Amino acid sequence: MANGGLSNSYATIILSVVMLLPAISVIITRFITKEGFKNFGLKPHFKGNIRFYLMAWFGPALLIALGAMVYFLIFPSQFDPSMGQIAALYEAQGISMAGGTIYTIFISQLVLGIFLAPLINIITTSGEEIGWRGYLLPKLMERYSARVSIIISGIIWGIWHAPIIAMGHNYGLGYPSAPWGGILAMIVFCLFIGSFFSFLAIRTGSFLPAAMAHGSLNGFAAISVFFTSGTPSPFIGPLPTGIIGGIGLIIVGGICFVLVGKEKLQATE
């Protein structure tokens, strides 16, 4: 990764492998501590919890779209319905945009992000969620309230992203407070989105809906780029890691944090 950072041709593969490390660490830990895997959180517990799975599957995409809409309403000059800027980027990469190709690409990405991303991404996102919501959160909840556990796990999750943020992921490298400003922003983002994911895990007693929601987030996060003109601040939007682009996720994360109260995690299997 040091050889070229995120521009390295192997970066995507390496990052995908890194996403599996929390799950690998949990498996190793369970063997060392002889805890076993009875309460691993793999059982989905669909009965009575379908609404939470629907929230996990479609919620992130809807909230990301809402945040982008709010952003473009506030900054209409940065909204480009013709998708000209991203079409030019594709052209620069040698991809012809003749015959409305950009619209075909957008529709395919939209369908993929809404309907398939939660399932397609579930292997890599489970790699994270087995660690964060499947193991760390329940362990913290043995000692602390749900809210305190969500805060602690969210901060740890945010700090875990620090290396890729320092390499320019999400917020770039050219801002005055780089990379610390981006790392702090990611920690705040992880606190809110982590509240949503933790709410799903607590209510179902499984990490699976959190992994699905995480997959939806990853698959749909960049959809607003198609309509963006200019170079907006990544700390503001329209991407969900910005304070306005992420307004839907912030509100729902806050609501989930309140709703979870002092609940205890359901028995996991």
Lookup: tokens for 168: 């320019």
Q: Which pLDDT score is estimated for 110?
A: 95
Position 199 scores a pLDDT of: 97
Q: Looking at per-residue confidence, does 74 or 176 come out higher?
A: 74
Residue 93 has pLDDT above 80, yes or no: yes
* Residue among 41, 259, 263, 241 nearest 149 (CA): 263
116: Cβ–Cβ under 8 A, 6 or more apart, which residues?
A: 219
Kind and range of the H or E run holding 195: helix 180-204
For 59, 83, 113, 240, 258, the CA distances from 224, given in Å and listed in that order, are 16, 10, 12, 9, 29
pLDDT tens per residue, range 220-254: 999 999 999 999 999 999 999 999 999 999 999 99
CB count in 10 Å sphere of residue 12: 10
pLDDT for 262 beyond 90? no
* Nearest residue to 170 (alpha-carbon basis) of 221, 210, 204: 221
Average pLDDT in the 14-36 region? 91
**For 224, which DSSP code?**
G
Q: Give the number of other CB atoms < 10 A from CB of residue 147.
A: 16
CA 182/CA 170 separation, integer angstroms: 8
What pLDDT, on a 0 to 100 scale, did the predictor assign at position 211? 98
**DSSP letter (8 states) at residue 226:** G
Q: What per-residue confidence (pLDDT) applies to 3?
A: 39
Which residue carries 């070229």 as its tokens?
A: 4
User: pLDDT over 90 for what percent of the chain?
Assistant: 79
The rounded distance, in Å, linking the Cα atoms of 81 and 75 is: 13
Band of residue 2 on the pLDDT scale cut at 50, 70, 90 = very low
Task: Extract the tokens encoding 142.
Answer: 């043995």
Q: Which helix (H) or strand (E) holds 107?
A: helix 101-111
- Is pLDDT at 39 greater than 90 in this prediction? no
Of 228 and 13, the one with more pLDDT: 228
- Split at pLDDT 50, 70, 90, the class of 50 is very high
- The residue among 14, 9, 24, 10 whose CA lies nearest residue 163 is 14
Give strand pairing partners of 228: 79
Residue 10 above 70 pLDDT?
no
Choose the weakest-confidence range: 14-18, 52-56, 122-126, 211-215: 14-18
- What confidence category does residue 14 fall into, taking pLDDT thresholds of 50, 70 and 90? confident
As a whole number of angstroms, the distance between CA 148 and CA 155 comes to 11
φ, ψ for residue 189 (rounded to 5)?
-60, -45
Collapsing DSSP states into helix, strand and coil, what is residue 228? strand
